[in-house]
A and B are shown apart, each in its own frame.
Chain A
């Protein structure tokens, strides 16, 4: 099973939940798709065994073959091409690497070149396998790196995917292969607003999901209220705990070092397993 952990905003505890959930899998795999600022490896401190450099395609124009028909500039919905003074200008930062200009050029004047956009690292931390994607500074999209990460784990079981924050393209990419989504939410009004955004996303993708309420304190919890109002299963309420804060700030994995939290995450995994079984049962067609 592949579990994606996501949240509408940063700092709710996505990495905390995914690192510890991956840890209790035994021989599980942790995948950090938060390629703009991957940090799960800080906890796992893996021994890196392999690094792949990831690139995307950019068009290269052969001015001798170009006849100025402008099919490429008209095709480009991102406006990454312009035809000025009898030549095609390419705006590389605007290009989304769709390859359309290359396919449509009737003169065969467009070829493609590779541009490095980031890297994917593979390593081991005790019995847990760690994959981390890192996007290069100044790149505007991490999709190519996330795609490369997901292709690595295609046939692997017991995977926990740590998603980027928010509900935009990079999150959609990260959850596409997931069998179950865990939404992590904070007990604030802002937190519940962002929970609503990812809730909408997982509904749209028709993924089974549940919520982990993190950093719970006494008093009202707008995120919990949102779950009750919308009939969303609450998988677990994790208390605001100084001990956890301490582990976190020291870059340690509570589920690896502390029986109390190991039990907590084993329990969470058990609840997710039940939820998945239930989803499978009710969605079985007769």
Chain B
């Protein structure tokens, strides 16, 4: 993606488009990642309720996984889960193209 120059940007960092935070993928900030185990999950939605980034995916009224585009790896979901269905793992385990 090519970035705009100073002449083409609205001044003062004002954002003229509503709801564009979704374009800023903050998942790269994560150092540990929640890994969700579907077999243990009872879809109680405690993780969905507590996630500060709205990164718990829901489908057909059930928890369906984690949106890694925005999850910053805070670990609240793993901490709150009553069934230990979410485990925090180091991001280094998921790196590609290394080793």
Do A and B pair up? The answer is: no
